[in-house]
Amino acid sequence: MYPCNWTGITCGDTRSRGGTMVKVIRGISLGGAGIVGKLDTLRFESLPYLVNLNLSDNFHLSGAIPSGISSLSMLSRFNFSGDQISGHIPASICNLGRLTQLDLSINNLTGKIPPAMGNLSRLAILYLTGNKLSGNIPWHLGQLQNMREMDLSFNILSGQIPSALANLTSLSYLDLSGNWLSGPIPEELGDIHSLQEIALAENNLTGTIPPSLGNLTMLLLLQISLNQLTGPIPVELGMLSNLIELELPLNHLTGSVPSSVAGNLTSLIYMSLQSNRITGSIPHEFGNLVNLEELNLSNNFIVGSVPASIGNMSSLSLMHIYNNNLSSELPTEFGNLANLESLQLNGNQLSGSIPWSFGRLVRMTDMRLFTNQLSGPFPSGSIPSELGELKNLGRLLLRFNRLSASSAIAFFLCRKKVSQKANEESKRDVFSIWSFDGRMAFEDIINATENFDEKHCIGEGSCGRVYKAELQDEQVVAVKKLHAENEDAHDEERFQHEIEMLTKLRQRSIVKLYGYCSHPQYRFLVCQFIERGNLATILSNEEQAIQFHWQRRTALIRDVAQAITYLHHDVHPPIIHRDITSKNILLDVDYKAFVSDFGIAKMLKPDSSNLSALAGTYGYIAPEFSYTSVVTEKCDVYSFGVVVFEVLMGKHPGDMQNFLSSLGGQFFLEEILDKQLPQPENDEAKDVKRCISVAFDCLHPSPKERPTMMKVYRDINI
């Protein structure tokens, strides 16, 4: 069979000595093709016209990179990521003068980065992350004037960061995290004005944070956690008006939080300064950060009061300022934080009463105020009656204060141990569901669902049915009951795993767990009820689909992207959902999205191989899952891309590779968008096009070529 007709082979014309045009192989793209064998058996010298070589994500492709690679003088893109390549990076690779992209990440490479790599003058992308490379970062890399993205993270590189990297004036992404780098952060990095992301976490860097970093006005992410940095936070960082994430925890930073950093970074979504030696008070300028969702100042030496201006931070969902020296009373303005879900102020010297306005924090799931000097009486007896409105509250800790209650107060989300010897008097306790208010009666669930009668069933998944239950207090919840016939050890493990997942999550676009029951006769979860049901049902209903207009659809895409970004980047260890589908995305009355069903989610541990059985839903599973059981976050990225097209088309696009091939890289919106809605115009059209562009990136056949969810979320919100 003629090679130019083979899958993954691209051919082009070249003129032979006789003057005739002949077909030659220009590209080999066999990423994730399940190739087995040794690299040193490949005869690269027989492919002199090769421009693109992609053998990535072939888990059983091993051996060393042969020196004969230098014969590929036309090569522009070289991708061997996600294989089992060992040995050194051959110096001969540095003779490929036309190379623009080099990706050798996630392999077993050892030795040093060749200094001669600085001769690759056209190189724009260099990914060497996830190997065992050692030695210094060669200063010669500073000669790569066209470099845009450089990732050397998670190796064992040592020595200092070369100041010569400042010559990379086109660089937008620099990741040196997870190495053994020492010495100071070069001030010269502040001269790379094109930088959008700097990640230097988990090294042994010392000295101070250079004020020159304040010159990087395009910066979106600054991550320098887990180092040995000292000195104050530079006031110049307040000039980073586009910054979305500021991560400086687990250093030895001193001084107070500059008012410029607290007030000028109005694009900021995430700020983490915990576990330093920060002093001074909390600047009132924090009230300007209306987009901030997470603020962590814990384990410092901060004094004074919590400023009332905190109440202006309308997007705040997590505030952790525990283990400091805060004093004075809690401001009533806390009640304005409508999105606040986790508040941890324990380990301070706060005094006075808990404000009545805390009863307005209806999204609150975790409130910790213990080990302070709070006192009663509260507005209504020992415990504020207003706290009874916090229907989502799973944990309230107030102990070791000076409350007027007769005993220490502690509500825990915990599992009720069942005793087979319980008598009829205690039967109600035996069959209790432990939840946000300490206990939800088992009988309430049974009565509300009429012993799980079919008429209360609102959905069914692979491991259970979901019922709608209206309790005696008029609260409506969703009850997910596992199939009785499947209650084996594996399902018990799955059930416990889902509980573990949900109790740890604190994100407003993820379905909340209220309570659970585990008993030989009954096992079920009690979760937040989302009114409109799942996305698939809404898209299939003509009346509801018309109400689900473009603005709502693009907002849903952003909500889902934010939720998955939280799972991948803000939970430690990260969580892979593994079943992102339209059936596992729920919508409330305002068409706001909630990601649900973590029954097959998996904790991604850095020291594990992440091997597991096939899981997910056909039509959403990433293509690499058909030939390997390696699970990564990129599986969720792919599924998200499918969902984006489904939302915008109003239906599942079918086989994704056939669908993408049919588009051929060019399309008109009216050809693919949901015909039930009028064509989007102006800003709506721009949002839709942006979402489609990101979806294309997410659906790349090679997982290494797909963006991270953090990048996806940023690109959608540009």
Kindly give, in sequence order, each residue whose CB lies less than 8 Å from that of residue 506, ignoring residues fewer than 6 positions away.
Answer: 317, 318, 341, 342, 365, 366
Task: Provide CB contacts within 8 A for 424, sequence distance 6+.
Answer: none
Instruction: Report the alpha-carbon distance of residue 128 to residue 126 in Å, rounded.
Output: 7
In eight-state DSSP terms, residue 387 is G
Of the candidates 503, 311, 500, the residue with the CA atom closest to the CA atom of residue 395: 503
Contact (Cβ atoms closer than 8 angstroms) between residue 196 and residue 174: no
Which tokens go with 240? 């980073």
CA–CA distance, 206 with 228 (Å, rounded to integer): 5
In angstroms, the Cα distances linking 498 to 16, 439, 443, 480, 596 are 63, 20, 23, 11, 11
Calculate Rg over the CA atoms of the chain: 28
* Amino acid letter, 108: N
Look at the block and give the residue holding tokens 């009666």: 441
Q: What distance in Å separates the CA atoms of residue 51 and residue 14, rounded to the nearest whole number?
A: 13
Residues across the chain: 718
In the block, tokens 């309430």 appear at 444
Contact criterion met (CB below 8 Å) for 585 and 510:
no
d(CA 395, CA 385): 16
- With beta carbons less than 8 A apart as the criterion, state whether 560 and 545 touch: no
Residue 223 · residue 245 · CB < 8 Å? yes
Q: Any catalytic annotation for residue 579?
A: yes
Residues 167 and 191 sit within 8 Å (Cβ to Cβ): no
For residues 718 and 703, what is the distance between their CA atoms, to the nearest angstrom? 23
What's the rounded Cα separation, in Å, for the pair 53 and 389?
A: 61
DSSP 3-state assignment of 320? strand
Which H/E stretch holds residue 468?
strand 464-470
Bridge partners, 23 (sequence order): 13
Q: How far apart are CA 698 and CA 712, in angstroms?
A: 8
Q: For residue 489, how many other CB atoms are within 10 A of its CB?
A: 7
Quick one: which of 154, 143, 211, 219 has its CA closest to 181? 154
Give the C-alpha separation, 201 to 206, whole Å. 12
User: Hey, how many other C-beta atoms are within 10 angstroms of the C-beta on 182?
Assistant: 16
- How many angstroms from the chain centroid is the CA of residue 147? 26
Tell me which of 103, 444, 559, 579 is the catalytic residue.
579
Token pair of 190 as six digits: 């502040």
What stretches of 588-638 adopt beta strand conformation (E)?
593-595, 602-603
**Which of the residues are catalytic?**
579
